[in-house]
Amino acid sequence: MNSPLRHSPAPDVLSRFAAIVGDKYAITDANDLAPHLIEGRGLYHGRTAMMLRPGSTAEVAAILKLANETRTAIVPQGGNTGLVGGQIPFDGELILSLQRLDKIREVDAQSNTMTCEAGVVLQKAQEAAAAVDRLFPLSLGSEGSCTIGGNLSSNAGGTGALAYGIARELMVGVEVVLADGRVMNLLRKLKKDNTGYDLRHLFVGAEGTLGIITAAVLKLFPRPRAIETAWLGVPSPEAAVKLLNLAQSQLAGTVTGFELMVRGIVEFALKHGHNVRDPLSSPHPWYVLMEVSSQQAEGLRDNVEEFLGNAIEQELVSDATLAANLDQANSFWHMRHTLTEVQKPEGGSIKHDVSVPVAAIPAFLAEASDAVVKLIPGSRPVPFGHLGDGNIHYNVSQPIGADKDAFLARWKDVNAVVDKIVLQHHGSISAEHGIGKLKRDSLPKVKDPVALSLMRDIKGLLDPNGILNPGKVL
Ligand code: FAD
Ligand code: MLT
Ligand code: ZN
């Protein structure tokens, strides 16, 4: 029988791990560990005896081989921006930080690919693509600190998914270290490669439970020659859905962003955000941030202006401002990307990252708000998100003046009410953030039982000793 999994290894085992990376990169100092044990919103706290910072795939392989032999539990961590607690060692597991694997191995503009190590920060990858006149379109509010390995492991979505796809669709090849230390090299640049089972995608969205991603080949796109960014006041989510459909069918360019926000969350941003101002002169119940891109340098602005004129006539848009320059466009996106942060000063916030078919968004929003406010009178739903992907961050802030802990104690009650409505609309309780620790108990309630059983079989096959991110996902 296998010996039990060790969450807090003995000193002699710790020394063997430290010897692989060298003492400098085997972190044990409490101050150095602290930022890696808590996630940004302060929702999850963990503990560990050591964080390992390998500098190569070979070192990652040696760490996993030893972890497997000694049954030592490991939690992989990239930029620590995940929102479901997947990257936190809740029970003394060792942290395996991928941040030192930060080389961009190759940018191949002709093949439209880029080979990045797992610890490359997303923004650096975007910049490297731009330097050769290409676009790497994954875009998240956390892009200044999240990493390619974390993006793939959480199968991140973000604001560009509408036009370019989620992280899974942006990955062409991958290098993975398996739980027993073997390295699987699928770092191909090929769109077409039908040589048996396609194993690459098993590791995307696996949240570090099946293997450690050490590098990936990513897909690049031509850089748009013209981009127009509009901030729109809209009367309702119904109008926003119609507007999206109209834009996708009528505009000469491609709709590359379509974000919905309720007035309440914009008010939080205006109150608590840095350098945030209302782009419109009067308030509107809902807002859309729309971005349209074109490969034609000329003509897009006229086209978008004409489109917005029609949309106002059809009462789908109440007021509109089209960014006059890049700074203004950036200020619209800054407002959008600050929405995670500005909920904090309003007290407790109960989160949902859900998706429903796009057409069902208006009904979902209306039903969820009714049910939540009935459950906790005075609570303040502040939904926002990626309308074009049917993905809403249905977050609920506490009633003004309420006790934060008492409100947060209702987390599961509120989830139950919202998730029920999501399921009635044939949606998903985790659209883009993953399962991690946060939704682990909910997964068996929503996943097809055959699929769940296959997932457990795959986990057993790839990680028979359960060393990789135990207690997450399954
Ligand atoms: P981490 O948080 O370090 O880890 C995430 C998960 O992946 C964990 O389970 C971890 O164990 C695992 N992991 C990390 N690296 C590896 C690896 N190399 N191999 C195997 N497993 C690994 N997410 C979205 O999808 N869309 C958004 O729009 C979005 N916006 C955000 C905005 C803000 C302000 C913040 C704070 C977060 C946002 N996120 C969003 C969530 C988060 O940024 C993403 O999930 C991101 O992809 C995580 O990357 P990371 O490097 O920080 O990973
Ligand atoms: C976003 O779209 O801003 C994020 O996914 C972050 C969040 O849900 O807070
Ligand atoms: Zn999001």
- The pLDDT, as a whole number, for residue 23 is 97
- Bridging pattern class, strands 94-97 and 74-77: parallel
Reported residue count of the chain is 474
Beta-carbon count within 10 A of 428 CB: 16
For residue 148, pLDDT over 60 is answered with yes
- The pLDDT, as a whole number, for residue 252 is 85
Determine the residue type at 332.
Answer: F
Confidence of residue 41 (pLDDT cuts 50, 70, 90): confident
Ligand 2 closest atom vs CA 340: 9
Alpha-carbon Rg for the chain, nearest whole angstrom, is 23
- The pLDDT, as a whole number, for residue 2 is 62
In the reported structure, the alpha carbon of residue 331 is separated from the centroid of ligand 2 by a whole-number distance in angstroms of 17
Give per-residue pLDDT as tens, 270-314.
999 999 999 999 999 999 999 999 999 999 999 999 999 999 999
Q: From CA 63, how far away is CA 178, in angstroms rounded?
A: 11
Q: What is the DSSP string of 60-91?
A: HHHHHHHHHHHTB-EEEESSS--SSSTTS-TT
Does the Cβ of 229 fall within 6 Å of ligand 1?
no
For residue 1, pLDDT over 50 is answered with no
Strand order from edge to edge, sheet including 74-77: 26-27, 51-52, 94-97, 74-77
Q: From CA 264, how far away is CA 208, in angstroms rounded?
A: 35
Ligand 2 closest atom vs CA 391: 2
Ligand 2 closest atom vs CA 158: 2
Structure tokens at 474: 């399954």
Q: From CA 90, how far away is CA 401, in angstroms rounded?
A: 31
The tally of CA atoms less than 13 A away on the side-chain side of residue 227 is 15
Does the Cβ of 289 fall within 6 Å of ligand 2?
no
In the reported structure, the alpha carbon of residue 25 is separated from the centroid of ligand 1 by a whole-number distance in angstroms of 22
Does the Cβ of 354 fall within 6 Å of ligand 2?
no
In the reported structure, the alpha carbon of residue 381 is separated from the centroid of ligand 2 by a whole-number distance in angstroms of 15
Q: From CA 228, how far away is CA 322, in angstroms rounded?
A: 7
Give per-residue pLDDT as tens, 100-147.
999 999 999 999 999 999 999 999 999 999 999 999 999 999 999 999
Single out the residue of 178, 96, 86, 160 nearest to residue 122, CA to CA: 160
Place of tokens 């999501």: 422
Measuring from atom 7 of ligand 2, which residue has the nearest CA? 340
Distances in whole angstroms, Cα of residue 237 to Cα of each of 337, 358, 401: 20, 10, 29
The residue-averaged pLDDT of 332-344 equals 96
Place of tokens 């600050």: 338
Single out the residue of 93, 85, 91, 12 nearest to residue 52, CA to CA: 93
Share of the chain above pLDDT 90, in %: 97
Determine the residue type at 205.
Answer: G
Confidence of residue 55 (pLDDT cuts 50, 70, 90): very high
297's CB contacts (< 8 A; 6+ apart) are: 225, 226
Q: From CA 30, how far away is CA 36, in angstroms rounded?
A: 10
- Beta carbons of 343 and 393 less than 8 angstroms apart: no
Q: From CA 98, how far away is CA 77, in angstroms rounded?
A: 6
Ligand 2 closest atom vs CA 259: 2
| pTM exceeds cut of 0.95 | yes
Which one of the ligands is nearest to 208 CA?
1
Does the Cβ of 40 fall within 6 Å of ligand 2?
no
Share of the chain above pLDDT 70, in %: 99
For residue 206, pLDDT over 50 is answered with yes
Beta-carbon count within 10 A of 357 CB: 11
Ligand 1 closest atom vs CA 40: 36
The enclosing H or E element of 404 equals helix 404-408
In the reported structure, the alpha carbon of residue 340 is separated from the centroid of ligand 2 by a whole-number distance in angstroms of 6
Instruction: Count Cβ atoms within 10 A of the Cβ of residue 407 and give its class: 0-12 exposed, 13-18 middle, 19 or more buried.
Output: buried
Angle of helix 11-21 versus helix 57-70 axis, rounded to 10: 170
State the virtual CA torsion across 97, 88, 433, 58 in degrees, nearest 10: 20
Place of tokens 């490359």: 120
Does the Cβ of 181 fall within 6 Å of ligand 1?
no
Does the Cβ of 233 fall within 6 Å of ligand 1?
no
Beta-carbon count within 10 A of 35 CB: 10
The enclosing H or E element of 265 equals helix 263-272
Report how far apart the first and last C-alpha atoms of the chain are (Å, whole number): 22
Ligand 2 closest atom vs CA 385: 2
Does the Cβ of 352 fall within 6 Å of ligand 2?
no
In the reported structure, the alpha carbon of residue 88 is separated from the centroid of ligand 1 by a whole-number distance in angstroms of 11
| Average pLDDT over the chain, rounded to an integer | 97
Does the Cβ of 155 fall within 6 Å of ligand 1?
no
Ligand 2 closest atom vs CA 159: 2
Q: From CA 123, how far away is CA 140, in angstroms rounded?
A: 9
Structure tokens at 436: 């991690």
Does the Cβ of 355 fall within 6 Å of ligand 2?
no
Single out the residue of 310, 358, 408 nearest to residue 43, CA to CA: 408
- Beta carbons of 289 and 257 less than 8 angstroms apart: yes
Enter the DSSP assignment of 112. Answer: T
Single out the residue of 177, 178, 248, 191 nearest to residue 219, CA to CA: 191
In the reported structure, the alpha carbon of residue 204 is separated from the centroid of ligand 1 by a whole-number distance in angstroms of 12
Give per-residue pLDDT as tens, 436-463.
999 999 999 999 999 999 999 999 999 9
For residue 42, pLDDT over 90 is answered with no
The enclosing H or E element of 222 equals strand 221-222
Q: From CA 462, how far away is CA 82, in angstroms rounded?
A: 23
